[in-house]
Amino acid sequence: MAHIKPVDDPEATAANFFKNDYQDRGMVKWQGYFLSDHTSALKTEAKEDEQMWHQQIPDPMMPTRIKELLEQAQTKSQTVIIYTNVTDLNQRFQIPIIGRIQGWENQMLYLGDANFVAIKDIRAVIIDSVD
């Protein structure tokens, strides 16, 4: 059985340990936390990019047809999928906006959850068949 030697001065032993033996991982430790959050954000961004590249963009609708569908959806409280003509710097169309029409104001359509769409930017409207 091993015999443990009692420590005469615990503070001196601790000071000696930190001075000679301990290697602080410092930034390495914190980079692990950063890496996890950063990786998660990159995965989310990649998923959004994937959706933007692979979405099927419908052909533009006539403004009268868009108006008819929006009025029908609002009257019947149906969910709509709105495709806009808005693109990013890479000329990819914005992800469709999905929701129920809450109202109109100054040529803006309000779909709830702070989703506003300029009516002039609407490319196509599809009434969600799940309703």
Q: Could you give the domains of the chain?
A: 60-130 (2.30.30.100)
- Alpha helix ranges (H) inside 9-117: 10-16, 27-54, 63-75
Backbone angles phi and psi of 112, in degrees to 5: 80, 170
What pLDDT is attached to residue 6?
Answer: 60
How far is it, in rounded angstroms, from Cα 4 to Cα 71? 84
pLDDT tens profile 57-72: 888 999 999 999 999 9
Written as one letter, the residue type at 38 is H
pLDDT, greater one: 131 or 14: 14
Q: Are strands 116-118 and 122-127 parallel, antiparallel or unpaired?
A: unpaired
What pLDDT is attached to residue 30?
Answer: 61
83 conformational bin, left if phi > 0, alpha if psi -120 to 50, beta if neither: beta
